[in-house]
């Protein structure tokens, strides 16, 4: 298969695509892939590091208020469509997959106009502007949350899950030891992680809660985010950390560590949801309020409704609310087991395989 993939800006659009590509190359080793992203997005590092050829184009989003920048956005979109048509002519893909971000709008639109098979994958429960626009042009639509189904033309939609789930589902066993962090393997561990850059409100809340976490009979591993680590260290300079609490800037290779996590505190991005449901990790979700259409709350609610997770909205987040929910999970092994089982029921451990079938279905429509 010759696959052209487009998605950019955030890891939530990139990592599912990389997981799909990894699986596709396992089952169809002769697959050739070209990734099209933006000039400024995270894909500029992540995609080449994964050994995948990348082409970029300049894009920007629409402003929600009247702005002269929107004229530039239209210009860049039309320019990118023209650029995308050239890429498509040169690469000659069998199918084009869009995983979100403004760049995928131009690429998928160009592919559809060229009568090339097209598929979009929507990772979130609330459909983004780009995928709503593309839904009228593409052949197939793959979703990760049932809540997204009603926001698309029904005949095109297939539930597949998030390919990232299949990638991490293999991490059912880990040789990792908590002793690497100076913690104990036999003690339940709560991991707190606000994203690679950290989340200021989560960080401040954990700093305020650490004197109480010091007294708990469970362990806490708190990742501040690389760029916020020094600030958190300064805030904690007069606070003695208990032997059961460790503060680090970042946690490398989280999927390898998550099978040993008793519970997780995190944002409610699509990739996180895919990982915790694939692995069956009880989670306290703190949705980011800084996302389109508040979609992380909707993502979190999908777990809360099935008793697979707890949620604290950021406006209600403080040391007390975090400690109450952490204690609720960490001091009740039976509850953790129930939540883990409920999370696994929501997981889609074969999501990448399902998405590959959708890609083939789009190709078959054009034959």
- Of 212, 216, 217, 210, which is closest to residue 238 (Cα–Cα)? 210
Bind-site residues for UDP-N-acetyl-alpha-D-glucosamine: 10-12, 124, 196, 251, 296
- Of 170, 167, 140, which is closest to residue 152 (Cα–Cα)? 140
Distance CA 315, CA 184 (A): 34
CB 269 within 8 A of CB 288: yes
> Other CB atoms closer than 10 Å to residue 339's CB: what's the count?
24
CB 355 within 8 A of CB 167: no
Distance CA 137, CA 159 (A): 19
3-state helix, strand, coil in the chain (%, to 5): 50, 15, 35
**Alpha helices, DSSP H only, in 136-285?**
163-169, 200-213, 229-235, 254-257, 270-279
CB within 8 Å of 172: residues ≥ 6 apart: 259, 279
Task: Give me the residue label for tokens 């200021």.
Answer: 200
What φ, ψ does residue 56 adopt, rounded to 5°?
A: -125, 160
CB 111 within 8 A of CB 88: yes
Bind-site residues: 10-12, 124, 196, 251, 296
Cross-strand bridge partners of residue 143: 122, 159
């Amino acid at each position: 298969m010759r696959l052209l993939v487009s998605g950019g800006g955030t890891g939530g659009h990139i990592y599912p695509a990389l997981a799909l590509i990894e699986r596709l190359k396992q089952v169809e080793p002769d697959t050739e892939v070209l990734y099209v992203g933006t000039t400024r997005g995270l894909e500029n590092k992540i995609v080449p590091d994964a050994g995948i050829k990348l082409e970029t184009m300049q894009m920007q989003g629409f402003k929600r208020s009247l702005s002269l920048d929107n004229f530039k956005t239209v210009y860049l979109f039309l320019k990118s469509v023209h650029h995308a048509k050239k890429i498509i002519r040169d690469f000659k893909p069998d199918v084009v997959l869009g995983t979100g971000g403004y760049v995928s709008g131009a690429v998928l639109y160009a592919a559809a106009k060229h009568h090339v098979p097209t598929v979009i994958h929507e990772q979130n429960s609330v459909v983004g502007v780009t995928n709503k626009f593309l839904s009228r042009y593409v052949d197939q639509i793959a979703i990760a949350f049932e809540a997204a189904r009603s926001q698309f033309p029904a005949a095109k939609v297939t539930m597949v899950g998030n390919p990232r789930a299949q990638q991490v589902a293999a991490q059912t066993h880990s040789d990792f030891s908590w002793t690497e962090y100076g913690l104990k393997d036999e003690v339940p561990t709560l991991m707190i992680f606000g994203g690679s850059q950290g989340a200021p409100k989560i960080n401040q809340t954990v700093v305020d809660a650490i004197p109480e976490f010091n007294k708990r009979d469970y362990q806490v591993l708190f990742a501040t985010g690389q760029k916020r680590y020094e600030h958190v260290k300064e805030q904690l300079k007069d606070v003695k950390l208990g032997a059961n609490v460790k503060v680090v800037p970042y946690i490398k290779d989280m999927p390898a560590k998550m099978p040993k996590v008793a519970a997780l505190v995190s944002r409610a991005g699509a990739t996180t949801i895919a990982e915790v449901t694939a692995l069956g990790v009880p989670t306290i979700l703190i949705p980011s309020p800084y996302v389109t259409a508040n979609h992380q709350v909707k993502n979190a609610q999908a777990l809360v409704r099935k008793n697979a997770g707890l949620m604290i909205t950021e406006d209600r987040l403080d040391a007390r609310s975090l400690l109450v929910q952490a204690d609720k999970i960490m001091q009740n092994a039976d509850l953790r087991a129930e939540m883990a089982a409920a999370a696994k029921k929501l997981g889609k451990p074969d999501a990448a395989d399902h998405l590959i079938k959708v890609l083939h279905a789009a190709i078959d429509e054009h034959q």
